[in-house]
Amino acid sequence: MRTILCLFFFVFALGAEELRINRGILPGGLIDDKKLLSEINLHAKQLREMDGIPKAAELLKQLNRKQCQLALQMPGEKKLTTAEIAERTRKGVLVVSGLYKCKRCPEWHSGAASGFMLTEDGAFCTSYHVVDNKQNDSIFIMTGDGRIAPVVEVLAADKRTDLAILRAKGKGFTPLPVTMNPLDASLGDKVHVFSHPSRHFYVLSEGIISRKYLDSTNKEGPRRMISITADFAKGSSGSPVFNEYGAVIASVNNTQSIYYNVKKDGTKDNLQMVFKNTVSLEHLRTLVKAK
């Protein structure tokens, strides 16, 4: 009990934005996935008890906000190696975690999706559907260097493109450069994805842009998409897709599996291909008004 009380007062003294992971991220970038998620869950439970931390239900009501004003980080002009992209961007690649009460046990649990930081004062981008989850009690982020902060506001969101811009509490975050210019994403260009597939945190994959297309089957309306060959999987929604200059060109969205046989009962076999689909950041133009 004394340890718990001391930890609570330590959190209160530092302020919500100063909590950090200290066991799940080890020297040299080594990650202990189980301990990392456990620490996120522990800190999220502590923070939800503090004054001024909004519930996810309040954030859901703000998803109708259409536009915000931000000064976005501009892309560089020098091509980077894969190692340079990883080193320069990791702090700004986020774990976006919804804290929820389990329906099968009395415990609290934390989900794990993805996102990326846009500004020094906490504005970040993730997928709309990551926020639009009524099971969440509250939402938190973890930065690539292990900093934990609560999400306090939705700044702008668009269900059609499945993009949302939110704000986390705090200052001094690492913003990532972004580009909304479709000419910065050409067929065959090399790309990298930093994501958290199925709670395997900070997985870096590499590939090319294999296709650019208009998704006219989207229920909310058409949107511009980019298919890539870099790997990702569930838990990667909202992850940044980088070009060779280290600028974010797209947000990870979905996978589409192609099977040779689809039986009358819906059973599928003989998997042939998996499309890795991402939302072009051209669509940030509708959400962000430049300062």
CATH number of residue 58's parent domain: 2.40.10.10
Q: What average pLDDT score do residues 219-243 get?
A: 96
Give yes or no: residues 19 and 78 share one domain. Answer: yes
Query: 């915000």: which residue's tokens?
Result: 68
**pTM (2 d.p.):** 0.91
Give yes or no: residues 205 and 126 share one domain. Answer: no
Which tokens in the block code for residue 98? 């919804």
Give yes or no: residues 116 and 189 share one domain. Answer: no
User: What is the band of 265 on the pLDDT scale with cuts at 50, 70, 90?
Assistant: confident
- Could you tell me if residue 67 is inside a domain? yes
Nearest to 244 by CA among 72, 76, 74: 76
Q: What average pLDDT score do residues 159-171 get?
A: 97
145-154 residue pLDDT tens:
999 999 999 9
Give yes or no: residues 91 and 61 share one domain. Answer: yes
Domain boundary among 125, 140, 168: 168
Give yes or no: residues 113 and 216 share one domain. Answer: no
User: What single letter denotes the amino acid at residue 235?
Assistant: G
Give yes or no: residues 230 and 273 share one domain. Answer: yes
Give yes or no: residues 85 and 132 share one domain. Answer: yes
Q: Is the pLDDT of residue 106 over 90?
A: no
Q: Is the pLDDT of residue 2 over 60?
A: no
- Could you tell me if residue 132 is inside a domain? yes
Domain boundary among 168, 191, 208: 168
Give yes or no: residues 141 and 198 share one domain. Answer: no
Give yes or no: residues 31 and 147 share one domain. Answer: yes
- Could you tell me if residue 21 is inside a domain? yes
10-37 residue pLDDT tens:
444 444 447 999 999 998 889 999 999 9
Least confident interval from 33-42, 88-97, 193-202, 282-291:
282-291
Give yes or no: residues 16 and 125 share one domain. Answer: yes
Pairwise CA distance, residues 273 & 120, whole Å: 39
Q: In the Cβ-directed half-sphere of 209, how many Cα atoms lie within 13 Å?
A: 23
- Could you tell me if residue 204 is inside a domain? yes
47-98 residue pLDDT tens:
998 888 999 999 999 999 999 999 999 999 999 999 999 999 999 999 999 9
Give the per-residue pLDDT at 132: 96
User: What single letter denotes the amino acid at residue 104?
Assistant: R
Q: Is the pLDDT of residue 279 over 70?
A: yes
Query: 């320069």: which residue's tokens?
Result: 88
- Could you tell me if residue 247 is inside a domain? yes
Q: Is the pLDDT of residue 258 over 50?
A: yes
- As a whole-number percent, the residues of the chain with pLDDT over 70 amount to 94
- Could you tell me if residue 290 is inside a domain? no
Range of 132's domain?
2-168
Least confident interval from 30-39, 113-122, 245-254, 266-275:
266-275
- Could you tell me if residue 224 is inside a domain? yes
137 touches 56 (CB < 8 A) = yes
Helix (H), strand (E), coil (C) string for the chain: CHHHHHHHHHHHHHCHHHEECCCCECHHHCECHHHHHHHHHHHHHHHCCCCCCCCHHHHHHHHHCCCEEECCCCCCCCCCCHHHHHHHHHHHEEEEEEEEECCCCCCEEECCEEEEECCCCCEEEECHHHHCCCCCCEEEEECCCCEEEEEEEEEEEECCCCEEEEEECCCCCCCCCECCCHHHCCCCCEEEEEECHHHCCCEEEEEEEEEEEEECCCCCCCEEEEEECCCCCCCCCCCEEECCCCCEEEEEEEEEEEEEEECCCCCEEEEEEEEEEEEEHHHHHHCEEEC
Which tokens in the block code for residue 177? 């450069």
- Could you tell me if residue 287 is inside a domain? no
Give yes or no: residues 233 and 93 share one domain. Answer: no
Strand, helix or coil at 181? coil
Give the per-residue pLDDT at 52: 87
Give yes or no: residues 97 and 14 share one domain. Answer: yes
Give the per-residue pLDDT at 104: 82
Give the per-residue pLDDT at 56: 95
Q: In the Cβ-directed half-sphere of 210, how many Cα atoms lie within 13 Å?
A: 14
Structural domain total, the chain? 2
